[in-house]
């Protein structure tokens, strides 16, 4: 029995629409508004998260880059981000010429620590990028208070949190912009892709230019931009996946609830939802001091458990920061994510729980 940590759920509908586009030949569009499938997808996203606008791009990293460009982040600026995340968050900041400043996290849900955030604000701080890690919603109320006090814009890194809500409001829609990923391992996929949501028309118009070399009508570059466009094939896959997303999320929730029930009597720290929080269960992440041995034994049994992230970004060879982030370091050596994606069956969940129990 092999149970991967995450796997895309793609069916006949996606295959059919891709085949149709390949036969038609309109594989992408450099029009300001994008091609037909890009526009259809953007409308479906806006409706789902309840935002005024959605701008499709070719990756979650591109979404972060475009949002930073839209805020005119540049050399000499500082952007506050957690180190306990995928490196794309830091790389997007670094690619603008700005300096990523690493903030520690909270133990309860692995998201940005507002107290540490406030300590690290300087006159050069031009943006804050909280990450909704594993689908857990960052402490947005407190982060918002701090941002307003210092007049700093916020970009939500919602790459892992499509479908997560706080007080019935979707992640990505609380502040200036929210950035999402549609990598194959996410809760829904475009093959590769990402998007930004915003309620600000000025940002929306600028992002449409940024994703297309700064152009509006062609050869009329007005702002710095790149080729961040989402191809029609990927947009079509994403449009189909958006229709399936509610069912995907429901299955993840059901699997998470069952796994929590079966693991409740073991000596493990299980994920908990806060009051008014509804997570998408992108990753079901436990913590244990026996992480490394448990991970190895689960993998031997065919269970695709994984550690996200064993090396925090600030300790990677490229960034090499000596900054002290104690909770980040603790999490890096204790977190373990377990499979609960839609292809995981009840029998699989029971096997995972039984195996963990036997190992411990």
The pLDDT tens digits for 216-264 are 999 999 999 999 999 999 999 999 999 999 999 999 999 999 999 999 9
Cβ atoms 204, 53 nearer than 8 A: yes
Closest listed residue to residue 182, CA positions, set 17, 10, 4, 2: 10
Q: Is 167 helix (H, G, I), strand (E, B) or coil?
A: coil
Please enumerate in sequence order all residues whose Cβ is within 8 A of that of 351, keeping only pairs 6 or more positions apart, or say none.
Answer: 1, 3, 303
Closest listed residue to residue 204, CA positions, set 57, 2, 317: 57
Q: What percent of the chain has pLDDT over 70?
A: 100
Counting every residue written for the chain, the total comes to 360
Q: Is 53 helix (H, G, I), strand (E, B) or coil?
A: strand
Mean pLDDT of 339-346: 98
pLDDT of 169-179, one tens digit each?
A: 999 999 999 99
Mean pLDDT of 104-117: 98
How far apart, in whole angstroms, are the C-alpha atoms of residue 161 and residue 69?
A: 22
For tokens 């036997």, the residue is 358
121: left (phi over 0), alpha (psi -120 to 50) or beta: beta
Q: What percent of the chain has pLDDT over 90?
A: 98
Tokens of 165: 């809500």
Q: What is the mean pLDDT of the chain?
A: 97
Please enumerate in sequence order all residues whose Cβ is within 8 A of that of 220, keeping only pairs 6 or more positions apart, or say none.
Answer: none
How far apart, in whole angstroms, are the C-alpha atoms of residue 198 and residue 200?
A: 5
What are the structural domains, with CATH classification, of the chain? 12-240 (3.40.640.10), 245-359 (3.90.1150.10)
The answer to whether the peptide bond before residue 28 is cis (omega within 30 degrees of 0) is no
Q: What pLDDT score does 208 carry?
A: 98
Please enumerate in sequence order all residues whose Cβ is within 8 A of that of 345, keeping only pairs 6 or more positions apart, or say none.
Answer: none
For tokens 């991970």, the residue is 295
38: left (phi over 0), alpha (psi -120 to 50) or beta: alpha
pLDDT of 67-84, one tens digit each?
A: 999 999 999 999 999 999
Total-model pTM: 0.97
Q: What pLDDT score does 333 carry?
A: 98
Q: Is 205 helix (H, G, I), strand (E, B) or coil?
A: helix
Residue 116 confidence class, pLDDT cut points 50, 70, 90:
very high
- In this model, does residue 1 exceed pLDDT 90? no
- In this model, does residue 124 exceed pLDDT 90? yes
- In this model, does residue 204 exceed pLDDT 90? yes
- In this model, does residue 21 exceed pLDDT 90? yes
**What distances in angstroms separate CA 225 from CA 156, 176, 220, 339, one per listed residue?**
21, 19, 12, 38
For tokens 């090499």, the residue is 320
Closest listed residue to residue 304, CA positions, set 334, 260, 348: 348
Degrees to nearest 5, angle at CA 171 with 169 and 176: 100
Mean pLDDT of 91-114: 98
């Amino acid at each position: 029995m092999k149970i991967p940590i995450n796997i895309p759920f793609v069916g006949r509908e996606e295959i059919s629409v891709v085949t149709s586009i390949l036969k038609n030949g309109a594989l992408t569009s450099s029009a300001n508004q994008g091609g037909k499938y890009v526009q259809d997808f953007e409308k479906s996203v806006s409706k789902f998260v309840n935002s005024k606008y959605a701008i499709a791009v070719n990756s979650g990293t591109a979404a972060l880059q475009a949002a930073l460009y839209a805020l005119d982040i540049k050399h000499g600026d500082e952007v506050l981000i957690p180190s306990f995340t995928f490196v794309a968050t830091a790389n997007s900041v670094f690619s603008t010429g700005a300096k990523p400043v690493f903030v520690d996290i909270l133990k309860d849900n692995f998201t940005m620590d507002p107290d540490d955030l406030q300590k690290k604000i300087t006159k050069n701080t031009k943006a804050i990028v909280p990450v909704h890690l594993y689908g857990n919603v960052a402490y947005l109320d407190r982060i918002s208070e701090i941002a307003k006090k210092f007049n700093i814009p916020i970009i939500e890194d919602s790459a892992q949190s499509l479908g997560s809500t706080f007080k019935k409001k979707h992640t990505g829609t609380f502040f200036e912009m929210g950035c999402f990923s549609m990598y194959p391992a996410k809760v829904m996929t475009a093959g590769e892709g990402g998007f930004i949501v915003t309620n600000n028309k000025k940002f929306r118009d600028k992002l449409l230019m940024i994703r297309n070399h700064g152009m509006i009508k062609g050869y009329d570059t007005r702002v710095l931009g790149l080729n961040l466009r989402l191809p029609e094939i990927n947009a079509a896959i994403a449009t189909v996946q958006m229709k399936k997303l509610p069912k995907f999320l429901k299955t993840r929730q059901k699997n998470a609830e069952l796994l929590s029930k079966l693991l409740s009597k073991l000596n493990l720290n299980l994920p908990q939802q806060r009051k008014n929080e509804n997570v998408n269960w992108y990753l079901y992440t436990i913590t244990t001091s026996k992480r490394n041995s448990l991970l190895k034994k689960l993998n031997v049994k065919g269970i695709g458990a994984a550690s996200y992230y064993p090396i925090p970004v600030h300790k990677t060879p490229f960034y090499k920061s000596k900054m002290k982030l104690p909770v980040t370091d603790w999490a890096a050596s204790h977190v373990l994510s377990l499979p609960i994606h839609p292809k995981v069956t009840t029998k699989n969940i029971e096997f995972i729980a039984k195996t963990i129990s036997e190992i411990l």
